[in-house]
Amino acid sequence: MLSKIVNIANTCIVGEYWPDQFKESTSVIIPKSNKVAYNTPKAFRPIVLLNTIGKLIEKVISHRLQFHLLANGFLDPNQLEDIRQHLTIDARMYLIHIIHMGAKDCHTSVIAFDIA
């Protein structure tokens, strides 16, 4: 099964074609629990379902693209968001480095961020 998915992914990449079946979606409206009345749109949660094979192939393409961008130096080493193998600890260490460099130069550094 895996080899078939890889063959489909490779064919999509080489042929520069994305099948219409992968673009189709199904919308499902789910009522939220604990609502007194269901006469407003906020009482419902819409969910869009996409083709699972298409999503899997998109993920494979994304990982391949990211690998080649990193391997060939097209991404800045300090790019941390949405990069595989770059963890929150990497961001923290980079921020600590920036603060220490500012302290050596007698600059005041203030960094504020929100982690949700």
pLDDT tens column, 18-71: 889 888 889 998 988 888 788 888 889 999 888 888 888 888 888 888 888 777
Answering whether pTM is above 0.75, one says no
Sign, Cα dihedral of 66, 70, 74, 79? positive
